[in-house]
Chains A and B, each alone.
Chain A
Amino acid sequence: MPIRINLNKEFLSLDQLKPGEIGMIQDYKGMGEISGRIKELGLIRGSLVLVKKYAPFNDPLEIVVRGSHLSLRKKEASQIVVIKVLPKIEP
């Protein structure tokens, strides 16, 4: 998908994105605090993550990474640092 990087590089945690927004992973909070499984599933630095939706009571959230749909809890999502990336609007 053609993308354009948000110019004012504002660091957010993944759970601060709204449904439909895409983030690019920058870093994780804490060294080795988040489960390695997150990374094995392809949520590594530089990956694009689409936040698809939030479950009832706002937790967990559904994300799309490399074409697969995963569900994460807010707790883990809040440890993932992203910058917002705007998808180019397709006609």
Chain B
Amino acid sequence: MNKQPKIKRKEIALVGNPNSGKTTIFNALTGLRHKTANYPGVTVEKKEGILALPLSREQVTVIDLPGAYSLTPTSTDEEIVHEVLLGRVVGTPPPDLVVIIVDASNLERNLFFAGQVIETSTRAIMVLNMWDLALKNGLDIDLQQLSRRYGIPVVPAIGGQKGGMERLKVAIEKQLSLEPAKAKVSPENCHLPLPLEVKDMRGRIERFIKFMFKHNPHAAQGEALRLIGDSYFRSPLFREMGEQLKQVVIAVRKRLEHVRIDWSSVEAENRYEFIKAIYDQAVPTSEVKRVKTSDRIDRILTHPFWGLIFFGLMMAAIFQAIFSWANYPMEMISTCITKMSEWFGQILPDGQLKSLAIDGIMAGVGGIVIFLPQILFLFFFIALFEDSGYMARAAFLLDRIMRSVGLSGKSFIPLLSSFACAVPGIMATRTVEDKNDRLATILVVPLMSCSARLPVYTLMIAAFIPPAKILGIFDLKGVTLFSLYVLSVVAGLIAAWIFRKTILRKSLTPFILELPPYRIPQWRTVLHLMWDRAKVFLSRAGTIIFAFSIILWFLISYPRNPAVEQRFDSARVAASQTLQGDELAHRLSYIDAEQKGEEIRISFAGWIGRSIEPVIKPLGFTWEIGIGLVASFVARELMVSTLAILNHVEDKSGGESRELVQALQEQVSISSGKRVYTPLVAVSLMVFFLFACQCISTLAIVKRETNGWRWPLFMVAYMTTLAWVASFLVYQGGKILGFE
């Protein structure tokens, strides 16, 4: 049949309303494991996978797309759907087959977008997903009727469950084998006849834009109708074709107003009327039993008062849990690492290699791996939020508060995911419709305290915050951590407010958010998310942290200066001639420590630390901390690695290593002889970490999402300034108040 040589795999695109289960089905078809969750807007980019058709074993490409409510995009993620379906991406024709994933429990609304899609595509299949929910709601959908009315195959499915997927694969294969003309009935069939005036006007726009749809000529007609109703001129066509198209559309609207036609509702009213006729026939049940569980849960969770209280308690509980529950597994890992170090110490011959293995790698990487349990706990809670359906509720509860600083409730989702990591957080802003809302969100996302900062906080808190109870129940250490997070949120909100008042003024787009029904979180989804993050965390430890631990060890251990060694050697000789017994031993260990200190001071790292010391001194940081600060611009966790390596190298003379926490408490600065850390310095350091933009991946993603260097550079500048000023205030203010 196929005469053309096979150059390219056939392409199948999965589309549908947000949260209708596209990614769930994509994963089932391709065997991949992309993220699914129970809120609209999980997938924000195009993802590809491969499916082997059941009979011919031919391989086809499956494309997962963000969710969309309409082919008139209102946000960046919806624009992607528009581009792909209409085949407007250069070099990529529209997909060979479109699989429309419809939420059967929400059929009417889902059919709106389905209709638009069917009209623009050559081959299509409709999947009635969430079939289980539809049954539970008492809907009795007549599949044959739907299939006949839309002229395409209709397949019921329950997520990725086997039966549905088998049927879907068979349908896909069959559709792909048909000529387009047989695969689908005429494109006119998803709406009612339009009024003559409207048809005329649609034709006028169609002729104007036709040349942009060479691949897909009848897509131009649907697009023309949508441009008429696109009141905010959000379609990418307006950007590409400029004023001219806008003028044509405005003229058309004037004309329609003249004959008393509401151009802004023409398409929606027509389609919903068309749908109603089908719906009434295909879903004959008169009595629709709505599942009431969600409503009952919402009585408390989105209650104007109790909802906020619940939200606050949830957050407090999470931090308390991260801090106290995670302790046990962390101690276990810590013991393992110490045991391993000791074991290495026994089997390796003395010398530089041993030092590198124990002081560099084991200290640097092991120092980070300890924090794995905390990361897992954090992601466990985030996964619960995402998969239960609470995420959208939180956005609903907080919209008003967020708006008072110029963000929107939709910014909540990116901001919350940024507590895990800013990179997915910035991606998630694609669902924020308004351009300025989105930019403001992107700019403050990195202020949210991500999980890479957690090790630094944990270490500092463990070492310097006294174990006290507040109000008899809350642990002071837990409260400190919680306050840091609160501070990061407050700072983020204030920053957003300032940006909205100055550089990112007006915004127009409304806030419309769907609240999906609650669902019991699936343990598999939750575990997958935790597992994925554990992998990311550990592979970072195995790559960047590993490599830089070696580099750091080198920078801290070299260059060596024989003159220094000689000087201390002669001091030792002098001591052994004048002193005896205990006094001598004491003196000798003192000289050892002095020598180590001096060696670090003259090392490369010491040089780096000392050269930035003038800048960080007002913040209470000595040059030893300076080394860590420089390293942490590569990866935040390297702060902890640096401290561990410094401590190890310094301490080598003593043989077995002290606990890092204790070492930090006792560390004295080599140049001044004073303690490096006081509780005040620790707080100042944590505040610095909270605000500083020390993450190259974040900058790279901001550059990509904003198309240029302008915003990432601005971000570094404002965050670094903020970090410095805040630490300065903490440290100098604390000194004045007598905390030193």
Contact = CB atoms under 8 A, between A and B. Distances in A.
Contact of A37 (B263, B396, B510, B515): B510
A58 B511 CA distance: 15
Given A37-B69, A71-B409, A71-B513, A42 B108 contact: yes
B515 A44 contact: no
Interface residues of A, number: 36
A54 B304 contact: yes
Contact of A62 (B253, B511, B515): B515
Interface in B106-154: 106, 108-109, 112-113, 137
A39 B268 contact: yes
Contact of A42 (B112, B229, B515): B112
A31 B403 CA distance: 26
A36 B304 CA distance: 29
A35 B304 CA distance: 27
A55 B396 contact: yes
B132 to A, nearest CB: 16
B436 interface: no
Nearest to B408: A73
A61 B395 CA distance: 12
Contacts of A47: 272
B230 A36 contact: yes
* B70, B303, B512 — most chain A CB neighbours (10 Å): B512
Contact of B232 (A36, A55, A71): A36
B304 A55 contact: yes
B265 interface: yes
Interface residues of B, number: 53
B288 interface: yes
B509 interface: yes
A33 interface: yes
Contacts of B264: 28, 31-32, 34, 36, 39
B262 to A, nearest CB: 7
A69 B265 contact: no
B510 A44 contact: no
A60 interface: yes
A73 to B, nearest CB: 5
Interface in B390-411: 392, 395-397, 399-401, 403, 409
A39 to B, nearest CB: 4
Contacts of A57: 304, 400-401
A66 B109 contact: yes
A36 B268 contact: yes
A36 B511 CA distance: 12
Interface string A52-68: 01111111101001111
Contacts of A39: 229, 264-265, 268-269
Nearest to B257: A31
A40 interface: yes
Contacts of B698: none
* A34, A35, A40, A56 — most chain B CB neighbours (10 Å): A40
B24 interface: no
B397 A56 contact: yes
* A41, A59, A72, A75 — most chain B CB neighbours (10 Å): A41
B74 interface: yes
| Interface residues of A, dominant DSSP | mixed
B72 interface: yes
B305 A56 contact: yes
A76 B576 CA distance: 86
B514 A45 contact: no
B307 interface: yes
A88 B288 CA distance: 15
B231 interface: yes
B720 interface: no
A82 B272 CA distance: 18
Given A33-B231, A54-B304, A60-B409, A70 B513 contact: yes
B515 A70 contact: yes
B674 interface: no
B560 interface: no
Contacts of B307: 55-56
B529 to A, nearest CB: 25
Given A32-B253, A35-B74, A72 B511 contact: yes
A34 to B, nearest CB: 8
Contacts of A40: 69-70, 72, 112-113, 267-268
Given A32-B264, A44-B272, A55-B397, A69 B308 contact: no
A5 interface: no
B290 interface: yes
* A54, A56, A57, A65 — most chain B CB neighbours (10 Å): A56
A89 to B, nearest CB: 16
* B262, B290, B516 — most chain A CB neighbours (10 Å): B262
A3 interface: no
Contacts of B308: 56
Contact of B512 (A54, A59, A66, A72): A72
Contacts of B272: 42, 44, 47
A35 B396 contact: no
A31 B262 contact: yes
B302 interface: yes
Given A37-B70, A37-B74, A55-B304, A60 B109 contact: no
B302 A76 contact: no
B128 to A, nearest CB: 15
Contacts of B512: 35, 37-38, 41, 70-72, 76
Contacts of A69: 294, 514-517
* A32, A55, A57, A67 — most chain B CB neighbours (10 Å): A55
A42 B399 contact: no
Nearest to B290: A67
A33 B263 CA distance: 11
Interface in B93-112: 105-106, 108-109, 112
A67 B512 CA distance: 16
Given A32-B263, A40-B70, A55-B397, A68 B109 contact: yes
Nearest to A64: B290
Contacts of A76: 510-512
Contacts of B400: 55-60
Contacts of A70: 512-515
A74 to B, nearest CB: 9
A40 B399 CA distance: 22
A45 B270 CA distance: 11
A36 B515 contact: no
Given A31-B264, A36-B264, A56-B308, A67 B399 contact: no
Interface string B296-325: 001000111101100000000000000000
Given A37-B72, A42-B272, 8 more contacts: A31-B264, A35-B512, A40-B72, A41-B112, A56-B305, A69-B517, A70-B513, A71-B395
22 contacts: A34-B264, A34-B510, A35-B74, A37-B72, A37-B512, A38-B512, A39-B268, A44-B269, A53-B304, A55-B307, A55-B400, A60-B396, A62-B515, A65-B109, A66-B109, A67-B106, A67-B290, A70-B514, A70-B515, A72-B510, A73-B511, A76-B510
Q: Which 6 A-B pairs have the closest CB atoms?
A: A39-B268, A32-B264, A32-B231, A69-B515, A57-B400, A40-B70
